Amino acid sequence: MIDVNQLRNGTNFTLDGELYKVLKYEHIKMGRGNATIRVQVRNLRTGATREMTFTSGDRVQDIRIDTRVVEYLYDDGEFLTFMDVETFEQP
């Protein structure tokens, strides 16, 4: 878990079962009270963008996303099988 103050452009996190990538980060401090963190995010599953607002001290689950180039091999009727083009493994 990371504090929302640590969110930056390009950071990936999950909230309520959805995966998000931060597109724009804005830290707003108005006089007294807690700061407000406003982020524009892209849902990595649907591609939709939206704005989220957090108060300072909120926490989200950070995630690491790995990408690799794979090649489609076949469909056995239940699963699709792919091969990593660098290691030739079939994950």
Q: What is the pLDDT of residues 25-76, one digit of tens each?
A: 999 888 887 889 999 999 999 999 999 999 988 999 999 988 889 999 999 9
Domain ranges of the chain: 2-62
> What CATH fold (topology level) applies to the domain 2-62?
SH3 type barrels. (2.30.30)
What pLDDT shows up at residue 34? 83
SS3 annotation, the chain: CEEHHHCCCCCEEEECCEEEEEEEEEEECCCCCCCEEEEEEEECCCCCEEEEEEECCCEEEECCCCCCCEEEEEECCCCEEEEECCCCCCC
Q: Tell me the C-alpha distance between 4 and 17, whole Å.
A: 17
